[in-house]
Amino acid sequence: MTLYGTIFYLLSAIILAATAMAITRRQPVHAVLYLIVAFLGTAALFFLFGAPLLAAFMVILYAGAIMVVVLFVIMLFQRSPRELGLLSEWGPATLLGVVFLAVAVSMVFKDPGSGIVLQGAVAEPRDFGYFLFDRYWLAVEIVSILLLVVLVAIIQLGKKREEGIEEIGK
């Protein structure tokens, strides 16, 4: 098996394990963190397949912006923190993080003279932008409006909660 095949199967296992952990967690914050690991693994797969722009979109949009909004909402409505068990809570996360870091390092420091040639379909960002906004402009606009509505709703919920806390404190 080649290095790329090994990395592919390792990343696939990380994505499946992180997604399974996200589905089975009782704490919503832990589920979101495992989902971020799954998104980062998907971005690494995109990068491995020769689509660095899609990998950057996965990291910036999904693992970055959207998951931060979801974490903010979860932490806004979470009632009380609870004690964390060392091995039961941090064990799977640490294992997935170490394996993901090892795969990322092996992708960055791969041997350029290995003779393995990947035939990838590489598109320039300009071509991707033309394709996206030419055919799917309506979907892009709908998603941007939905993200704006979510942001406004979070701000309003945060203001109402702050006002409720100030009234209780008086």
Interval 125-152: pLDDT, tens: 788 788 888 888 888 888 888 878 877 8
Type of residue at 122 = V
Q: Are residues 59 and 87 located together in one domain of the fold?
A: yes
Query: Residues 114, 163: one domain?
Result: no
Both 102 and 141 in one domain: the answer is: no
Alpha-carbon gap, residue 12 to 127, rounded angstroms: 28
Expressed as residue numbers, the domain containing 168 is 123-170
What is the pTM assigned to this prediction?
0.54
The answer to whether residues 103 and 33 belong to one domain is yes
- Tell me how far CA of residue 54 lies from CA of 13, 72, 151, in angstroms: 20, 25, 24
Q: Running DSSP on this structure, what letter comes out for residue 49? A: T
Residue 104 sits in the same domain as residue 130: no
pLDDT given for residue 69 in this prediction: 78
Helices (H), the chain: 3-24, 28-48, 52-57, 67-77, 86-108, 125-135, 137-169
Percentage of the chain modeled with pLDDT above 90:
4
Q: Tell which wins on pLDDT, 170 or 105.
A: 105
Regarding whether 154 and 118 lie in a shared domain, the answer is: no
Same-domain status, 10 and 46: yes
- Counted domains in the chain: 2
**Chain centre distance of CA 75:** 18
Whether the CB-CB separation of 32 and 74 falls below 8 Å is answered with yes
